[in-house]
Amino acid sequence: MSETTTEREVMEYDVIIVGAGPAGLACAIRLKQLKPDLMVAVIEKSPEVGAHILSGAVIEPEPLDELLPGWRDKPPPVCLPVVDDEIAFLTAKSRHKLPTPPQQRNHGNFIVSLGALCAWLAPQAEALGVDIFPGYAAAGIHYLPDGAVGGVIIGDMGVDRDGKPKDTYMQGIEIHAPLTVLAEGCRGHLSKELIERFKLDADSDPQAYGIGIKELWQVAPGKCKPGLVNHSIGWPLDTKTYGGSFIYHMDKDRVAVGFVCALDYSDPEFSPFEAFQQFKHHPSVKPLFEGGEILSGGARTIIEGGAQSLPKTEMPGALLIGDAAGLLNLPKIKGTHQAIRSGMLAASHVAEKGNGDGFDTVLRDSPIMKELHKVRNIRPGFNKGLWRGLITAGIETITAGKLPRTLHNHADYSSLTKLKDMKPIDRHWVKRDLAPRDRLASVYFSATDHDEDQVVHLQILEPDVCITRCGEEYGHPCTLFCPANVYEMVEDTDSTAGKRLQINAANCVHCKTCDIKDPYQIINWVTPEGGSGPNYQNL
Amino acid sequence: MKILVGIKRVVDYNVRIRVKSDGSGVDTDGVKMSINPFDEIALEEALRIREAGNAEEVIVVSMGGNECQQQLRTGLAMGADRAIQVNTEGDLQPLTIARVFLKIIEKEQPGLVLLGKQAIDGDNSQTAQMLAALWDRPQATFASKLTLSGDTATVVREVDAGLETIEVDLPAVASVDLRLNEPRFVKLPDIMKAKRKPLEVISADELGVTVENDLEISHYTPPPARGKGIMVEDTAQLVAELKTRGLV
């Protein structure tokens, strides 16, 4: 981004926030509430606010009460109080009800569409004077001569596949601000760059991630029980893999269904997408969807590392908030309340101090971090499998995290077993007939759109490794972990290996799984042209 | 010369359209809305004509509730000089829209009216033609190339047989086709400038137009779902299968 020849146009703000999700919007709103004169801008790569947001989502409402008192009188379009909670353990054929762990008791919480919630927050931020720019991607960081962050560089538009300007070429501008707040969500590409550059993770564990795949269904009349929250663990995952399902019953016969799977799974031939589709065919689940219609779908990675993996959240000129930092509370399977709280905390800190200095300490002393500390050992407890994980979870829950020990996270990309060391696994998978048929059909329901004549935004740093080494060692797991079928090995008679990696970048739903799970860490996800990507509806 | 451009707020072309289960219309709940793509092309053309020095002012016009101000603001950010929203409620049909346009024309006296050849929601492709008739001025529909010289416009039209070139006297109505141009991206600072550009709101009543629909829509139905296919071994089986279905 830095080697541009012509001078870029510049806009100046006091605070520039990257990402119009719950953290970024809450930060913007609170900043303007406290300091109405501050010039605050939010930039967002999705064509409109909410279109790249995908979450369960059951949320705790307290942070919203704090941010926008009276919001309950004008709630977001999808917002139902939870009336009942159920959690079950599944085997391939049976379902066993489990006692609901305290972290997952959802009384007083709300089922929402987080995308719709963000689309509802945005005009409230704008009413306070925040400038929100959807459809513009922050492609790079503007660094000051002393190395500090001085703002962001918006990606150029109208560039062809080979990087040459098209007739519609428009150079991206720079937005300069004394403070940049990264609220990109899980594995934001600028956050990743900054964490590396400023070594923000020097004192923390490797980050841990999961992938969540979700669909919204219109089920046959009479099947939906509005306000019901269903979770499951067990099948279709083996006991070595951490994850589970959610089914949230909404209004108008709509049901949100999803599956989350930790990205430290070991089987290179495992496909999280297939696991999700299998889950929908469990005998206790399938009847809900039979006779129904899928409305929309998509995928997004989830940040699971918690307290141990939290990087330093401040650097010269910039802060990390929400899931860009990694504040999700995994045992609760909730991050929205943490995201909103961290946005507000950053805002009040900045409003008081005039800059971000000292934010990391404030965050670590806050209730946000206390909440993460309490549950810190639950996720790594599952590194030794489901049963030991459940025991650890039980102990940590009873002791409220007070035992003087901290279990550690490992890097997800390092967890794949080589094909030669794999024993075949019978997952008891069934023949499927519910929609979508395959990943391409699923991409259709995400309404993903990229101009195909643009630079491929999935950079393969060492293409040779893909064909030879990865093929031999792992059998191209990228072709299986990607929920959108972006990576495909195709026949190529011109190459000595007889095959080549085809990147269907236009299918990308911006989930970032590839950037995380690729065992050689040679896939780099960067943002495509602003406004590209999924057009999620009520996800 | 002034150029008047019609802008319609429609469901975005990327969105999978769903018919409401009661058949009363298309589901727009939480759905992304955009400028009708053909209208965007019309606006781009108007801006290029102005930039070439052949027009002084580009005015974007939309009809509907306040939500269509979002699309007008996008039009202003692309480069239009000002916007007019004709505030109306409920569905509008082409004849009503043409009548409203005529009133705006009488007020603004444009030298050229540029419209999309059709909107991607109703697919009517009628407004431009009706407007030309009501206004009693020439029409140049499905324009894929437009050249102005003095008081005339030379328009290349995409027709079934190929390309047809016609010349029309101005003022005239032109409806634009897909290949006329590729609309520009909006520059970020222009979004801020657009917030300060004038956007006038007038009601249909003030213009003396009664919003009434001559056509009644009884119901909407989605196209029938595609049935399951079968795999055939060879051409002989294919022919046999087609025969049993009475298709050959």
A10-69+117-206+306-374: CATH class: alpha beta
Distances (CA, A) of A372 to A205, A305, A306, A326, B166: 14, 10, 6, 10, 71
**Contact between chains at A445 and B185 (C-beta distance less than 8 A):** no
**Contact between chains at A447 and B16 (C-beta distance less than 8 A):** yes
Is the Cα torsion angle B237, B243, B246, B247 positive or negative in sign? positive
- The CATH number of residue B189's host domain is 3.40.50.620
Torsion of CA B64, B67, B70, B71, to 10 degrees: -30
**Rounded Cα–Cα distance for residues A22 and A183 (Å):** 9
* pTM beyond cutoff 0.90: yes
**Contact between chains at A173 and B30 (C-beta distance less than 8 A):** no
Q: For residue range A109-153, what is the model confidence (pLDDT) as tens digits?
A: 999 999 999 999 999 999 999 999 999 999 999 999 999 999 999
Q: For residue range B16-62, what is the model confidence (pLDDT) as tens digits?
A: 888 988 899 998 887 889 999 999 999 999 999 999 999 999 999 99
Q: Distance from B45 to chain A by nearest Cα, in Å?
A: 13
Nearest to B185 among A168, A445, A449 (CB): A168
B12 in contact with chain A, both atoms CB, cutoff 8 A = yes
Under 8 Å between Cβ of A186 and A323: yes
Residue A233 identity (one-letter amino acid)? I
B248 in contact with chain A, both atoms CB, cutoff 8 A = no
CATH architecture of structural domain A434-525: 2-Layer Sandwich (3.30)
A79-112+207-303: CATH class: alpha beta
Name the CA radius of gyration of chain B, rounded: 21
**Which has the closest alpha carbon to A25: A132, A161, A174, A173?**
A132
Mutate one of A78, A152, A168, A433 to test the B interface: name it (highest B CB count within 10 A).
Answer: A168
Burial of A281 (0-12, 13-18, 19+ CB in 10 A): middle
- Residue A514 annotated in active site: yes
A1 pLDDT above the threshold of 80? no
Nearest to A173 among B12, B15, B188 (CB): B188
Domain boundaries along the sequence of chain A: 10-69+117-206+306-374, 79-112+207-303, 381-409, 434-525
Does a structural domain hold residue B61? yes
- Residue A511 annotated in active site: yes
Is the Cα torsion angle A190, A193, A196, A198 positive or negative in sign? negative
**Rounded Cα–Cα distance for residues A39 and A16 (Å):** 9
Chain B residue with Cα closest to A533: B14
Which range among A95-109, A137-151, A260-274, A317-331 shows the weakest confidence by mean pLDDT? A95-109
Tell me what ipTM this predicted complex has: 0.88
Residues spanned by the domain of B127: 2-215
**Which has the closest alpha carbon to A231: A80, A79, A84, A55?**
A84
H or E element at residue A439: helix A439-445
- Residue A4 annotated in active site: no
Burial of B148 (0-12, 13-18, 19+ CB in 10 A): middle
In the β-sheet with A110-112, what is the strand arrangement from edge to edge? A58-59, A110-112, A79-81
A3 pLDDT above the threshold of 80? no
Backbone angles phi and psi of A227, in degrees to 5: 95, -5
H or E element at residue A297: strand A293-303
How many domains does chain B fold into?
A: 1
Backbone angles phi and psi of B124, in degrees to 5: -75, -45
A-B CB pairs within 8 A amount to 56
Average confidence score pLDDT of chain B: 94
**Rounded Cα–Cα distance for residues A443 and A484 (Å):** 6
Q: For residue range B104-129, what is the model confidence (pLDDT) as tens digits?
A: 999 999 999 999 999 999 999 999 99
Backbone angles phi and psi of B181, in degrees to 5: -165, 175
Per-residue 3-state assignment (H helix, E strand, C coil) for A469-490: HHHHHCCCCHHHHCCCCCEEEE
Does a structural domain hold residue B245? no
